[in-house]
Structure 1
Amino acid sequence: MAAQDRRERQRAERHQLIIDTARGIAESEGWDAVTTRRLADRIEYSQPVLYSHFAGKDAIVGAVALQGFVEFADTLRADVSAAPDSASALGALARGYLRFAELRPAVYAAMFSMDTDLTFARADTPPALRTAFEVMRDTLGAATGTAHLETRTELAWATLHGLATLTAGNRLRPEQAHERLTLLVEHWRAAAPHS
């Protein structure tokens, strides 16, 4: 049994090495630089070994995205938990979201912009994706009430994604970042329907 355990542990370590290497290349050079050949060379395994773990690049991107959602939910939860009250938590959530997108652009792209087999808003949505949504939903609900909460959470998420994407593309005035976020949070609170 020890040999089987060792093989399983080595396989899990190789699997994670592929994910970490892809993520590292993507963060430093962009996703176009991530190829199965380059990954195989970088991790010093053959392409067939790489394909024994992942069907191709899209599957690797999906694995990076899935781990990104775990980190994303943890980041948002920590930011929200550090806030003194529900109104402050809403601002902390928005700032945490945008900070995550800024500090991890390749992971954020894998999570939200690239082709993966991850499903959203369905029964088979992976737990990590649901957890991130729930952190946003619960924070928004605590600050603004529960009426139409799922839909309002989707709108909040879409708005933050738009801000993150436009900011990354240098389409917004950087000196207005704080004011934009303040106005957005004030709008969420003022426009909240009664529960």
Structure 2
Amino acid sequence: MAIQQRRERQRAERHRLILDTAREIAETEGWDAVTTRRLAERIEYSQPVLYSHFAGKDEIVAAVALEGFGELTASLRADGADPSARLAAVAHGYLRFAADHPAVYAAMFTMDTALTFADAESPEPLRVAFEVLREAVGGHGAEPDLESRTELFWSTLHGLATLTAANRLRPTHAEQRLSLLITQLTT
């Protein structure tokens, strides 16, 4: 039994090493620099070993995206009695996460993956992240269409994150834009 446990532990460690290395390369050089050959060289395992964990780069990107949703959810958690302050804290957490982890954010939202969104079959990390956003938006009384308002909040945050990362928005007006968004959702 000890040999089997050691093998499982080693496999989990290799799995983690593959994901960590992919993230590191993507964050420093972009996702185009992440190839199975480069990963295999970097982690000092053969490509067949890498393929025993992931069928290819797309599965690695999807795994990074799922981890990213868990991390995003943690950065969105906001406590407090004031619903507007809670909504603002969630918005700040979202934008901070996108700015601090651009490659992970790209894996989550802009790269092609087989992950399903807005569906009962969506993976749990996606559903939980959306639920945190919905709770923040829903803190303002009875909402006639909470799901759509949450999608609007999410898509606006995504637009702000994407346009900010591409230097398409005036950086000096970031707080003003966020304040306007919160006002629109809370009035």
Q: TM-score range by the shorter chain?
A: over 0.9
Hey, what does 1:38 align to over in structure 2?
A: 38
| Aligned-pair CA distance for 1:144 | 5.0
| Aligned amino acid, residue 50 of structure 1 | L
Q: 1:156 aligns with which of 136, 142, 153?
A: 153
Aligned to 1:17: 17
Separation of aligned partners in 1, 2:113 and 2:16: 18
- Mapping 1:169-188, distance limit 5 Å: 169-188=166-185
Alpha-carbon RMSD? 0.9
Q: Deviations over 1:154-189 (max 9, x none)?
A: 111011100100000000000000100001110111
Instruction: Output the amino acid matched with 1:100.
Output: F
145-154 or 25-34, larger mean C-alpha shift? 145-154
What's the counterpart of residue 64 of structure 2? Answer: 64
1:123 aligns with 2:123: no
* Superposed displacement of residue 124, structure 1: 1.2
Length-normalised TM-score, structure 2 = 0.97
1:104 aligns with 2:74: no
Question: What is the one-letter code of the residue matched to 2:184?
Answer: H
Task: Give the % identical residues.
Answer: 66
For 1:161 and 1:106, locate their aligned partners in 2 and report how far apart those are by CA, in whole Å.
14
1:75 aligns with 2:75: yes
Give the Å deviation of 1:43: 0.2
1:88 is aligned to 2:85? yes
Q: Structure 2 regions of 5+ residues with no counterpart?
A: none
Q: Hey, what does 1:8 align to over in structure 2?
A: 8
- The secondary structure found in structure 1 opposite 2:52 is helix
Cα drift, residue 146 of structure 1: 2.9
5+ unaligned residues in a row in structure 1: which ranges? 191-195
The residue identity in structure 2 corresponding to 1:104 is H
Number of residue pairs the alignment of both structures matches: 187
Deviations, residues 121-180 of structure 1 (Å, cap 9, x unaligned): 112111111000000001110135332001110111011100100000000000000100
